[in-house]
Structure 1
Amino acid sequence: MKYRQLTKEQFESLHKEFAQFLATQSIDVKEWQDIKTNKPKVAEEEMNIFSDLVWDDVLTKVNYVEHFSKTSANLFKCEDEQIHRIAIKVNWDINLLEQKGFEWLMQNPMDNSVEIFKGSKSYNGERNLEIFDLIEKGSSISKGEIYDYINSLVS
């Protein structure tokens, strides 16, 4: 398996897509019930294959991810060949995880207590796997507004 299996909730929300996936393999509802009951390893493998397809589709479309902690933020722009990072560290007692702290940062990004670092690198391995790793470590997929805003200030 390339990524990880989707959660039960994710499978439930992708119920129609999973049914279509099984149909492409000529597996109908009755046969799927039989496979789940009598061949659990085969059922698990089908779920793993579907999970990888979903993750690949989602990750291929990702352009930005971000990760916030109490006093820092890591903003990533994910291009085809390179990933760009803006690392922000706030050097005073603030909580960027709270609305008040986040708003302060957005209004004062060039304050003396804010350090901003930029960097870029080529992917070490496969692009989607590196983005998946960031997500598994707590990053969230974003639209990139914060990255673009901060980038416009420090470019």
Structure 2
Amino acid sequence: MKYKRLTREQFEALHKEFSNFLATQSIDKAEWDSIKANKPEVADQELDVFSDLIWEGVLTNAHYLEHFSKNHIFLFHCQEKLIQSIVLKALETQVDFMQKEGLQWLSDNMFTDTVEIHIGKKEYQIERNMAIFDLITEGAILSDGQLYLQINGIIQS
């Protein structure tokens, strides 16, 4: 398995897609029930293959990621060959970017001495989708890129 198996909730949300996946292998509900009961290792393989297919599609289409912690915001723009990053760090320890007030504080203090901004980019050291998957497993979430683009626009002007 290249990535990780989807959770039960994710499989439930993708029930129709999983049914279609099984159908492409000529496995109907009765046969699937039989495989689960009599060949659990084969069922596990099917779940793993489906999970990897879903992850591959999601990661291929991922362009922006965000990772919020108490005093840091990591914003990533995932391009084909490299990843660009903007890291915002609050130097005032009481600021919490995990709270709405923390984001308002950032808006009010963006260009003061209380916020450090670091911009970077680097080529992927491993395959692109695996690098993005690693960031997600470390806590990053997929994003529409609005915050990245907004802050990048402010920094560039």
Q: TM-score, normalised by structure 2?
A: 0.96
Matched, 1:69 2:63: no
Q: Deviations over 1:54-104 (max 9, x none)?
A: 000011111100111111111000011110011111100211110011122
Does the residue aligned with 1:152 lie in a helix, a strand or coil? helix
Matches within 5 A, 1:1-155: 1-92=1-92, 93-155=94-156
Does the residue aligned with 2:49 lie in a helix, a strand or coil? helix
Task: Give the ranges of 4+ consecutive aligned residues of structure 1 lying more than 6 Å apart after TM superposition.
Answer: none
CA distance in 2, matches of 1:69, 1:81: 27
* Cα offset, 1:106, TM superposition: 2.5
Runs (5+) with no aligned partner, structure 1 = none
Percent of aligned pairs sharing the same letter:
49
Does the residue aligned with 1:75 lie in a helix, a strand or coil? strand
Q: Deviations over 1:99-133 (max 9, x none)?
A: 01112212331121000010101111111111111
Amino acid at match of 1:87: V
Amino acid at match of 1:102: L
1:94–1:101 contact (8 Å) kept in structure 2: yes
Does the residue aligned with 1:149 lie in a helix, a strand or coil? helix
Count of residues in Structure 1 that have an aligned counterpart in Structure 2:
155
Alignment RMSD = 0.8
1:109–1:150 contact (8 Å) kept in structure 2: no
* Cα offset, 1:152, TM superposition: 1.3
Runs (5+) with no aligned partner, structure 2 = none
Does the residue aligned with 1:2 lie in a helix, a strand or coil? coil
